[in-house]
Amino acid sequence: MHKRYALTILALIGLVASTLACNAPPPPNPDLPPTETTDAPPTSPPQETTPPPTETPPPATPTPTKHPPTETPTLTPTPTEQPPPTEAVSTGPLDFPVPAMLDNWQTLTDGKHEATIILHILGGAPPYTIYHDQNLVTTTWETAPAVIFQAQGCSALVHSITVESADGQSLKHDYWIPVPWCGD
């Protein structure tokens, strides 16, 4: 039994030795120059390179066809203001506070001044058409448009502002504002 046990161990040792021998690196060839070994990861095999593309000849000049040209769609520019609705939708009774002071002003030449009043429109339906006295100022979708006009002298500003909304409402306010560019 010991003999059989010894033979089994020798067989296992031989199996392990042959496995190691098969996986061992080959002995160095004295005819080849020595190579350096590094711990760098293995590299992939070289890839085939494709030759640079050859120039393609320019396309042939198109020949005219006897078919009528197709219609090119017309592009519309993107609006900067909100597009008009299909019908005016009222958000309630039209109103705006009566101006009590200028929101801004600056001195111009020849004793004139540029005055600015910011309206705060409530209700109605845009677009709003705004008049200062009887003069058209603007038509706008904004609910806080500026009314800019010129004035001169030191008398109070006595004018009227009319706002008309797209739903047919109209509101006029007269205002009186002391001029800020003249001292008390």
Q: What is the pLDDT of residues 35-55, one digit of tens each?
A: 555 555 555 555 555 555 556
Rounded to whole angstroms, the Cα distance separating 9 from 21 reads: 18
Check residue 116 and give its pLDDT.
96
In a domain, 33, yes or no: no
Q: Where are the alpha helices (DSSP H) in 1-72?
A: 2-23
Tell whether 169 is covered by a domain: yes
For position 110, what pLDDT does the model report?
A: 86
pLDDT of residue 72: 46
Q: Is residue 142 part of a domain?
A: yes
The answer to whether residue 24 is domain-embedded is no
**pLDDT tens digit string along 73-85?**
445 444 455 555 5
Q: Is residue 85 part of a domain?
A: no
Please compute the mean of the pLDDT values over residues 173-180 and round it to a whole number. Answer: 94
pLDDT at residue 9 in the model: 77
Task: Name the domain count of the chain.
Answer: 1
- Is 38 within the bounds of a domain? no
CATH code for position 135: 2.60.40
So what's the pLDDT on residue 15?
Answer: 64
* CA atoms 44, 48, 49, 55: torsion sign: negative
What's the pLDDT tens digit per position in 127-141?
999 999 989 999 999
Q: Is residue 133 part of a domain?
A: yes
* Residue 161 falls inside a structural domain: yes
Which tokens in the block code for residue 102?
């200028």
pLDDT band at 99 (very low <50, low <70, confident <90, very high): very high
For tokens 């494709």, the residue is 50
Range of the domain at 113: 104-177
